[in-house]
Chains A and B, each alone.
Chain A
């Protein structure tokens, strides 16, 4: 309903309570895939809207990533002859470390604000909450990754906006937030979640990190698809396996929230 369609202001409740029975509701039961996707979209849009209002996650991630690239740039400037030698590592380290900041807030903010039970009370397959959160994390992390690429362009004078590199980042970040959203949910109720999440998550991300670095290095070295395809295969397999595992496990995490 748009604002223009709103009717006149009502009298206050204590003089004329609205009888809710006069406004019967209808609910869609067992709405199938479309209803499921609608709930995924609802969670996603809620997280994006909350971020646009609060500017809590993206601004922190962006500031951290810019600082991290600057520090790496200064640290390696004197000793490394060619930026191509260190840029792949810098790119993926900064993406992984920055992503943790956003992932921590994904469920941490729900716990801190006390809103997690309202999500768990909803008649929703909890995997829909997982996918909604995962997609929101994907948007925040990809947006930050684009900022990182832009900063690296200026600091290292390297154009990493190349199709194969962008595809590698997309696949890598999907796997990262797929596992990261699951682990963020696991650690959300822990007091030590800020330290626990990276300790649990980063070792699992080794295949993504190694493949991502290899792909970015390959792109900078001008390698052909035949040389890169195996790394893309590893990233795609990682994404598929861990997203299915997360889908299957997510409901169990909240059994006794």
Chain B
């Protein structure tokens, strides 16, 4: 197992009650790479992302971010993580500006106004910055959720089904954002049910089933038909 990745999972085990959701997950996402995590509903994709982000603790195993164990690190390690979850993690009665400004203060960002402006322009919400988030469409909310996740420029970005419920236009905007974010020093781990998008957005794909990574491959030369065939053979 390559341990030089920016995101490394070592033998992650997680139980909820008697159910073992993750059963020894080993994974590595190198710097500058995007990995798509595929698997059926209930496979443990979201749980794995929650563990990597620090929102949940594994029963066994450890997560290394940039070589640092999240178990041993203090709360400063959270500075290196950006998470886009199922819920947008935004205050819907506040504006986009107020939301991002609040998080900029929590992350100790110096000159927060300049950074908030840059992010709002990057996610194309500058013209709606003073509107309450509850008035946004699903696509706009998702763009703002990504804006919140990248506000502090984290090297580790976790996207949990970011394309769910988006129309094709919003999905294309999201694809542009991911392409922009994937260049350079970041490692991105995303989950999706859309095989075409997984191939288009990611450098590698891993299949999670029965609590383990059962198959991994690079996306170069991979087609959705080949991927679908592999998943069928693996009974995923």
* Choice from A13, A39, A50 contacting B124 with Cβ under 8 Å: A13
Chain A proximity of B10: nearest CB distance (Å): 19
A53/B56 in contact, CB under 8 A? no
- Say if the beta carbon of A75 comes within 8 Å of chain B: no
Chain B proximity of A1: nearest CB distance (Å): 3
The segment from B60-68, B74-82, B191-199 found at the interface with A is: B74-82
For A23, the chain B residues whose CB sits under 8 A away are 114-115, 118
- Say if the beta carbon of A46 comes within 8 Å of chain B: yes
| Bound: A209/B152 CA distance, A | 45
For A1, the chain B residues whose CB sits under 8 A away are 113-114, 116-117
- Say if the beta carbon of A10 comes within 8 Å of chain B: yes
B98, B106, B109, B152: residue with the most chain A Cβ atoms closer than 10 Å: B106
| Bound: A14/B77 CA distance, A | 33
Number of interface residues of B (CB under 8 A): 58
The segment from B28-36, B87-95, B211-219, B221-229 found at the interface with A is: B87-95
| Bound: A21/B119 CA distance, A | 11
For A126, the chain B residues whose CB sits under 8 A away are 75
B108/A21 in contact, CB under 8 A? no
For A221, the chain B residues whose CB sits under 8 A away are none
| Bound: A29/B130 CA distance, A | 30
The segment from B1-9, B17-25, B37-45, B172-180 found at the interface with A is: B172-180
Given known contacts A17-B176, A20-B153, A27-B152, A118 and B113 CB-to-CB distance under 8 angstroms: no
For B118, the chain A residues whose CB sits under 8 A away are 18, 20, 23
The segment from A83-91, A109-117, A196-204, A232-240 found at the interface with B is: A109-117
Residue of B nearest to A251 (CB): B75
For B107, the chain A residues whose CB sits under 8 A away are 27, 122-123
- Say if the beta carbon of A158 comes within 8 Å of chain B: no
- Docked complex: A11-53 residues within 8 A CB-CB of B: 12-14, 17-21, 23-31, 35, 38-39, 41-43, 45-46, 49-50, 53
For B184, the chain A residues whose CB sits under 8 A away are 21
A42/B102 in contact, CB under 8 A? yes
Number of interface residues of A (CB under 8 A): 50
A19/B180 in contact, CB under 8 A? yes
- Say if the beta carbon of A124 comes within 8 Å of chain B: yes
B180/A53 in contact, CB under 8 A? no
| Bound: A35/B148 CA distance, A | 20
For A12, the chain B residues whose CB sits under 8 A away are 124
For B111, the chain A residues whose CB sits under 8 A away are 25-26
Chain A proximity of B40: nearest CB distance (Å): 23
| Bound: A169/B141 CA distance, A | 43
For A45, the chain B residues whose CB sits under 8 A away are 102
| Chain B proximity mask over A96-108: 1 for CB below 8 Å, otherwise 0 | 0000000000000
Residue of A nearest to B148 (CB): A118
| Bound: A13/B181 CA distance, A | 14
- Say if the beta carbon of B127 comes within 8 Å of chain A: yes
B81/A27 in contact, CB under 8 A? no
| Bound: A42/B122 CA distance, A | 24
A10/B115 in contact, CB under 8 A? no
- Docked complex: A238-257 residues within 8 A CB-CB of B: 255-257
- Say if the beta carbon of B126 comes within 8 Å of chain A: yes
B115/A114 in contact, CB under 8 A? no
Chain B proximity of A25: nearest CB distance (Å): 5
**6 pairs of A and B residues whose beta carbons are closest in the complex:** A114-B87, A1-B113, A13-B124, A118-B89, A23-B118, A42-B105
Apart from A35-B108, A38-B108, A121-B55, 9 more pairs, CB < 8 Å: A1-B114, A10-B126, A20-B153, A27-B107, A27-B152, A29-B108, A114-B86, A118-B148, A121-B83
